[in-house]
Amino acid sequence: MDTVIVIKIGGNIIDDEGKLSSFLKLFAGVKGKKVLVHGGGKLATKLAADLGVEQQMIDGRRITDAETLKIVTMVYAGYINKNIVAKLQANGCNAIGLSGADGNLITAHKRKHATIDYGFVGDVDQVNASLLQNLLDNHMTVVAAPITQDGNGQLLNTNADTIAQEIAKALGKFYNVKLIYSFEKKGVLLDVENEDSVIPLINPVYYNELKEKQLIFAGMLPKLDNAFSALQNGVKQVIIGKAEELDQLITGKSGTTITYE
């Protein structure tokens, strides 16, 4: 069974043109089948401010009203996605950029919440794994933007970490899948102020212990929950770490490895 590496790149890297270019050069050099999932960084927020579209955040999550949906679609599925694809082509990596609407890649439904209306935010229902398999087997690298659709013509803004997890799970039926969350930190840190306090290995028992003692930075909890969900659903390995250390992350020599054992 072939191996596929699904890599999610964090917004802080996307915001820095130099770091993004360096990362994409590393990514282009990764051998074999691979998928890159990206978020949007701060560009959507900046464009919204320039256009006078007020942004509302609840617990760090963007409320996506109709005008904001237009902006995030333009930024995520447009400029950022195609900028990444063009840079990969320049590095000899034949890439194709897709949103969830393209090729019916990802269908989702509008998020339902008892007390909060998140607007046009989507939670994933299904990933078109056969489309991804076809592209990967034809030596294409897929670059996925975090815009999905409900099958009835409605676009939805969807969390990029979740998209990476769902793509990894869908591909797990056909390949040995390694899921990597790459961002600005060296891994999951025991002390958020100490860059060298990387936890090398986390299993479910240790994860529960860390949560009970409130030793994990709140922003990391969704990533770890996604990681364990992926491992429960056919993904072989999940690693969280620094984008600049991509080569070492792939070989498990840096970052935090999440295991279900």
Say if residue 213's pLDDT is above 80: yes
Digit-coded pLDDT (tens) for 246-256: 999 999 899 99
Q: What is the pLDDT of residue 36?
A: 98
Q: Which band of pLDDT confidence, cut at 50, 70 and 90, is reported for residue 238?
A: very high
Say if residue 138's pLDDT is above 90: yes
Residue 240, token pair as written in the block: 């969280």
Q: What is the pLDDT of residue 26?
A: 96
Residue 63, token pair as written in the block: 């409320």
Digit-coded pLDDT (tens) for 144-157: 999 999 999 999 99
Query: Which comes out higher in pLDDT, residue 102 or 60?
Result: 102
Please state the pTM of the whole predicted model: 0.94
Rounded to an integer, the average pLDDT of 102-124 is 94
Q: Which band of pLDDT confidence, cut at 50, 70 and 90, is reported for residue 60?
A: low
Q: What is the pLDDT of residue 61?
A: 73
CA–CA gap between residue 126 and residue 178 (Å, rounded):
20
Say if residue 56's pLDDT is above 90: no
Q: Who contacts 115 (Cβ-Cβ below 8 Å, separation ≥6)?
A: none
Phi then psi dihedrals of residue 237, to 5 deg: -155, 145
Nearest-10 crossing angle of helices 129-137, 160-171: 70
Say if residue 179's pLDDT is above 90: yes
Say if residue 195's pLDDT is above 90: no
Say if residue 257's pLDDT is above 90: yes
DSSP 7-63: EEE-HHHHT-HHHHHHHHHHHHT--SEEEEEE--TTHHHHHHHHHT---EEETTEEE
Say if residue 59's pLDDT is above 80: no
Residue environment code for 29-40, b if the CB has 16+ CB neighbours within 10 A, otherwise e: ebeebbbbbbbb
CA–CA gap between residue 134 and residue 116 (Å, rounded):
39
Contact 186, 197 (CB under 8 A): no
The residue extents of the domains of the chain are: 3-258
Say if residue 261's pLDDT is above 80: no
Q: Which band of pLDDT confidence, cut at 50, 70 and 90, is reported for residue 12?
A: confident
DSSP the chain: --EEEEEEE-HHHHT-HHHHHHHHHHHHT--SEEEEEE--TTHHHHHHHHHT---EEETTEEEB-HHHHHHHIIIIIIIIHHHHHHHHHHTT--EEEE-TTGGG-EEEEE---SS---BSBEEEEEE-HHHHHHHHHTTPEEEE-SEEE-SSS-EEE--HHHHHHHHHHHHTTTSEEEEEEEESSSSSBSSTT-TT-B--EE-HHHHHHHHHTT-S-GGGHHHHHHHHHHHHTT--EEEEEEGGGHHHHHTTSSSEEE---
Rounded to an integer, the average pLDDT of 211-223 is 82
CA–CA gap between residue 67 and residue 197 (Å, rounded):
41
Architecture label for domain 3-258? 3-Layer(aba) Sandwich (3.40)
Q: What is the pLDDT of residue 188?
A: 92
Digit-coded pLDDT (tens) for 71-100: 999 999 999 999 999 999 999 999 999 999
Nearest-10 crossing angle of helices 160-171, 221-232: 10
